[in-house]
Structure 1
Amino acid sequence: MISVGEALVAQLSERGVDCVFGIPGVHTIELYRGLAASGIRHVTPRHEQGAGFMADGYARVSGKPGVAFVITGPGLTNTLTAIGQGRADSVPMLVISGVNTLPSLGKGRGHLHELPDQRAMARTVALVSERVESADDLAPMLARVFGPFDSGRPGPTHLEIPLDIAGAPYTAEALAPSHPAPPTPSDDQIADAVALLAQSKAPVILAGGGARRAGNALRTLAEKLGAPVVQTVNARGLMFEHPLGVPASPSLQAVRRLIDQSDVVLAVGTELGPTDYDMYATGTMPRMQRMIRVDLCPDQLARQPAELSILGDAAAAIDALNTAIDASAAPDGPERATKTRREAVEEIGPEMRALCDVLAEMRTAVPGAIIVGDSAQPIYAGNLYYDHDRPGGWFNAATGFGALGYGIPAAIGAALAAPDTPVICIAGDGGAQFSLPELMCAVQENLPICFMIWNNHGYQEIATSMQDAGVSVVGCDPTPPDFAAVAQSCGLPFWRCGPEPDAVAKALRAATGKGGPTLIEIQAQPFLRQ
């Protein structure tokens, strides 16, 4: 007879889970009992926050939920930041934790790793948090925590298994995994949308992360309508070098003008959040006339008024529109897109343009790479304006929840999800120090990741914000380590270069030819005199 922990692993495997990120502890030993024989790959991060970020990166690239095993108490609290990032970006990830024995819960007797109410804490961040209280609970609780991955807007979920249950005999029957289809747009809603779009002389499409797996259909729709496609950060790569593509932040005035001058706005798979649409915190959003909004989440649809709200999967809605639309394209769509791109590039200024030039040279040096970012100057620039050559291949934590330390572990998860694809991680020297030990995880797994550290000796973005607010700059100059010595200690091939585009590209070409993980330090101009 198998245990509940062994049954858990078996049922995860049946649901297609092939990789788990976790650090074993005394409160998760029973979850590991069946792992070695299951065929599921186990990856050991150096911190539970890293486990969560790895699960995030894995999920974004694979399209499957990323799974993390963490211990009771501090294991789960350490993972909460990653859960928050996943919640903000609608990333399907499952965190499975231990919890103290059922009779001890809520008693406050000082047990190891005890929290007053661990599940209630998780529920403040996760979409769903459930507990297995008997062998009979395992299958239905798994169904509940997997439920948001198959229907509605995805996000992180949590399952906890008490110590006295994990090792108990499993006497229940497993439920066959179900995969309900996401909501499908109604024929009437599609017909109403087609009628609005047919009247449009200057349509525009706003594409968010929810559309990132519908690239071909989105391009077809844009061409049928003659509509420029503005791509938020998580949608970059969908319209690479397309005449109708606008790979620029809708917070820029140039892009706001495009949206304002459009007579119908089709917003697909975007939450219209301020970190994309009002990153300068003006308190205003672009004016959107006759908006048609498509989203998986009814709560999201209710948060922003629209002339027509369509509940459904972005890809399904785009396919339905393509089938139904029989209208001539607005003739000036490419012209409007070109004008917006030109004005957006001018608007971001010379410093950001120089950083965008670095990104463009990186793209040329390693075409088709997945670029994962932390909050760092090149990432800020790219989020303002950058056209990537791979759908879903540009993502970072500089929008939404905005967690520092994301880049290095998320890149590890991405590399595990796409083992034949080069992965580039861009992190600042400050953010890298949040998760620098995870470099050894990449070494241990021999992953083809080039870690690029933009070293300007501090938190430049925060220092600039403090100066702009008239506040004396304090605490923004954490001394970075000797990255050459870090690389040597980890056994990583190392390059150091200046911030010039050709120098960065040369180092990157050399580094990505090595096969395993590598480290490049880009010596940028320090923002403060040292």
Structure 2
Amino acid sequence: MSRVMTCGEATIRLLTKYGVNTVFGIPGVHTLDFCRALDKEVRHIQARNEQGAGFMAEGWARATGEPGVAVVISGPGVTNVSTALGQAYADSLPVLVLSAETASNTIGKGWGVLHEITEQKKVTEPLTAFSATAHCAQDVPELLARAFTLFASQRPRPVHLSIPIDVQAEMVEEEWEPVALPKRPSAGASEIAKAAKLLKDAASPLIMVGGGACGASAELTIIAERVGAIVIASTAGKGIVDDDHPLSLSASTARPQVLKLLSEAGVILAVGTELSETDSFIERMDFKGQLIRVDIDSKKINDFYPADLGIIGDAKSVMAKLQAALDDFTSDGREAAEIRVAEVRGQIRAGLSVAEQQHTAVLETLSSAAPENIVWSGDACQLVYTGAFMLPVHAPRHWFYPAGYCALGNALPNAIGAKLAQPDIPIAVIAGDGGFMFTMPELITAAELQLALPIIIWENGGLKQIQDDMDARQISRVGVEGINPDFVMLAKACHCHSADTANLDELQSAFQVALKADRPTVIVVHQARS
């Protein structure tokens, strides 16, 4: 016989039946009924700000592809977590934010009750696949079924569910059960045959992969080898084909040497990618060949880059069928493609600016000391911009750099979420000095959890990219040169190890020690000022 419990407690219990074992957040007076089940039914991780909690849930989703969950209060909890929702939306990540809301009879009234937003769901509607309010306890299992169905079978964008405090307190007598989740769609035989023929007949085929193709790493590598295709990744697709593979140009779309390749391709196979301008940083890429687009989102097939052949389906399923259709085929163009990749890699290295050469020296030092399976959690900073094409990554979901929404401050909390999801995989943070300060309090969260996280802070005197942009446009610098804290003393105050490095040898040594430490280590790296 099921136990009578509050709706808040029943909600957390139902999450566990959908496979959730960890949630991130900060308890408040409006989430007390959720708290009845926290650390009984699931592990609760206390963040220091709801934005950090959202970024931790996002990091969990980035690392695993499974839903990351944040539980927050109404009002300011929702507005704080909204930045992480926007980023998860931009990068197609399954994040669930479960929040409180003011009592049902106050919604929309503007009475000035605690944590009031007159209609909370409207705040997050543009940032989510859907945002909904439960008006009674029985709405909750229906809304959670809708959310997890979306995560399992559609483009996995975030969801926000608000449960008013009076609904949380309702008593639930029956045991809520999860629904059976549908599978993602796949392609028909005729579509696969057309795609295979285009690739077999193509001169200089090219494959472009995005985050939606993370599950198809093995299949895409084999397809590239069979048809002799050069592979270019978005930042979200970096590592799907190993960056060290002789056909891979990593996430280098923004480099002029790589943009030139696009117009040389006879056929472009774009899998799980928006072909976004935040990867190329030009208004429109110059595709002259035929474009095959494979995407689970039907809206992407004929948007800014209309497809000559559009296939709606799950990347792994579609690529498995395409691989099978190419079983009897081996292109004679692979050797030429590998030579072309080697040439372009050389051109990219030769074209590095002085600052990018400094970045590369740091990145190569880190890479030489890192385990092959390391996950790099990057913030928006110049060291990470260069790392997109100069730091080798060997598997999907091992490079976090949200280039689309491009919020600052995600790197550290993303890494916390990822490390908790995959405790046996080494994870390192790369953040700029300015971006690190956005979510700096989560350093205490990482220390409290005793996570072995090397945290590389690229100290270049403020918001360097915006400084450079202002200088290039002859705008006097304003608001981009604020002072930094003493990062070594800050680390100590937050119960972390630290190292202020003066050269690459010191960096390598500190990084190696940090990977095995009993808590986070803040490693400060100063940009050369010559």
**TM bin (shorter chain):** over 0.9
Shift of 1:172: 4.8
Shift of 1:400: 0.3
Encode CA deviations 1:219-270: one digit per residue, 9 max, x unaligned.
1111111111111111222323111111142122211121210100000111
Query: Relative to structure 1, is the Cα distance of residues 147 and 488 closer, same or farther in structure 2, using a 3 angstrom cutoff?
Result: same
Contact 1:454 1:522 survives alignment (8 Å): yes
Residue of structure 2 equivalent to 1:474: 478
The yes-or-no answer on 1:357 pairing with 2:361 is: yes
Separation in structure 1 between the aligned mates of residue 522 and residue 413 of structure 2, nearest angstrom:
14
Contact 2:100 2:162 survives alignment (8 Å): yes
Residue of structure 2 equivalent to 1:159: 161
Partner amino acid, structure 2, of 1:492: C
SS at match of 1:112: coil
Contact 2:55 2:414 survives alignment (8 Å): yes
Separation in structure 1 between the aligned mates of residue 101 and residue 135 of structure 2, nearest angstrom:
11
Structure 1 segment 64-75 matched on structure 2, within 5 A: 64-75=66-77
The yes-or-no answer on 1:511 pairing with 2:505 is: no
Contact 1:71 1:98 survives alignment (8 Å): yes
Aligned length: 521
Residue of structure 2 equivalent to 1:366: 370
Structure 1 segment 198-209 matched on structure 2, within 5 A: 198-209=200-211
The yes-or-no answer on 1:291 pairing with 2:291 is: yes
Given the alignment, which residue of 409, 415, 418 partners 1:414? Answer: 418
Shift of 1:353: 3.1
Contact 1:81 1:403 survives alignment (8 Å): yes
Residue of structure 2 equivalent to 1:217: 219
Encode CA deviations 1:299-331: one digit per residue, 9 max, x unaligned.
122312010011011111111111011322124
Separation in structure 1 between the aligned mates of residue 287 and residue 505 of structure 2, nearest angstrom:
40
Separation in structure 2 between the aligned mates of residue 72 and residue 511 of structure 1, nearest angstrom:
38
The yes-or-no answer on 1:430 pairing with 2:434 is: yes
Residue of structure 2 equivalent to 1:461: 465
Residue of structure 1 equivalent to 2:385: 380
Contact 1:135 1:172 survives alignment (8 Å): no
Residue of structure 1 equivalent to 2:318: 317
Partner amino acid, structure 1, of 2:465: E
Separation in structure 2 between the aligned mates of residue 418 and residue 357 of structure 1, nearest angstrom:
29
Separation in structure 2 between the aligned mates of residue 353 and residue 301 of structure 1, nearest angstrom:
38
Residue of structure 1 equivalent to 2:195: 193
Contact 1:408 1:425 survives alignment (8 Å): yes
Contact 1:232 1:248 survives alignment (8 Å): yes
Encode CA deviations 1:49-89: one digit per residue, 9 max, x unaligned.
00000000011112210000010000000111110011111
Shift of 1:526: 6.0
Given the alignment, which residue of 27, 30, 33 partners 2:30? Answer: 27
% same residue: 37
Partner amino acid, structure 1, of 2:155: R
SS at match of 1:302: coil
Partner amino acid, structure 1, of 2:218: N
Partner amino acid, structure 1, of 2:109: K
Given the alignment, which residue of 391, 396, 415 partners 2:401? Answer: 396
Shift of 1:346: 2.3
Encode CA deviations 1:26-54: one digit per residue, 9 max, x unaligned.
1111111122321x111011000000000
Structure 1 runs (4+) greater than 3 angstroms displaced: 500-503
Separation in structure 1 between the aligned mates of residue 288 and residue 154 of structure 2, nearest angstrom:
25
Separation in structure 2 between the aligned mates of residue 406 and residue 35 of structure 1, nearest angstrom:
25
Unaligned runs of 5+ in 1: none
Structure 1 segment 118-137 matched on structure 2, within 5 A: 118-137=120-139
Contact 2:380 2:431 survives alignment (8 Å): yes
Encode CA deviations 1:441-476: one digit per residue, 9 max, x unaligned.
001111121111111121110010011111101111
Contact 1:363 1:389 survives alignment (8 Å): no
Query: Relative to structure 1, is the Cα distance of residues 525 and 458 closer, same or farther in structure 2, using a 3 angstrom cutoff?
Result: farther
SS at match of 2:116: coil
SS at match of 2:172: coil
Separation in structure 1 between the aligned mates of residue 293 and residue 361 of structure 2, nearest angstrom:
34
Separation in structure 1 between the aligned mates of residue 79 and residue 271 of structure 2, nearest angstrom:
34
SS at match of 2:5: coil
Encode CA deviations 1:261-300: one digit per residue, 9 max, x unaligned.
01000001111110102x2xx4232325101011110112
Partner amino acid, structure 1, of 2:520: P
Given the alignment, which residue of 332, 340, 344 partners 2:344? Answer: 340
Separation in structure 1 between the aligned mates of residue 103 and residue 200 of structure 2, nearest angstrom:
62
Shift of 1:126: 1.0
Separation in structure 1 between the aligned mates of residue 340 and residue 504 of structure 2, nearest angstrom:
29
Contact 1:153 1:296 survives alignment (8 Å): yes
Residue of structure 1 equivalent to 2:15: 12
Residue of structure 2 equivalent to 1:449: 453
Contact 2:145 2:178 survives alignment (8 Å): no
Query: Which has the larger displacement, 228-237 or 268-277?
Result: 228-237
Partner amino acid, structure 1, of 2:140: L
Contact 2:234 2:253 survives alignment (8 Å): yes
SS at match of 1:338: helix
Shift of 1:369: 1.2
Separation in structure 2 between the aligned mates of residue 354 and residue 491 of structure 1, nearest angstrom:
30
Separation in structure 2 between the aligned mates of residue 383 and residue 96 of structure 1, nearest angstrom:
33
TM-score w.r.t. length of structure 2: 0.95
Shift of 1:506: 2.1
Contact 1:54 1:414 survives alignment (8 Å): yes
Contact 2:56 2:418 survives alignment (8 Å): yes
Residue of structure 1 equivalent to 2:89: 87
Partner amino acid, structure 1, of 2:330: S
Contact 1:27 1:99 survives alignment (8 Å): yes
Query: Relative to structure 1, is the Cα distance of residues 71 and 84 closer, same or farther in structure 2, using a 3 angstrom cutoff?
Result: same
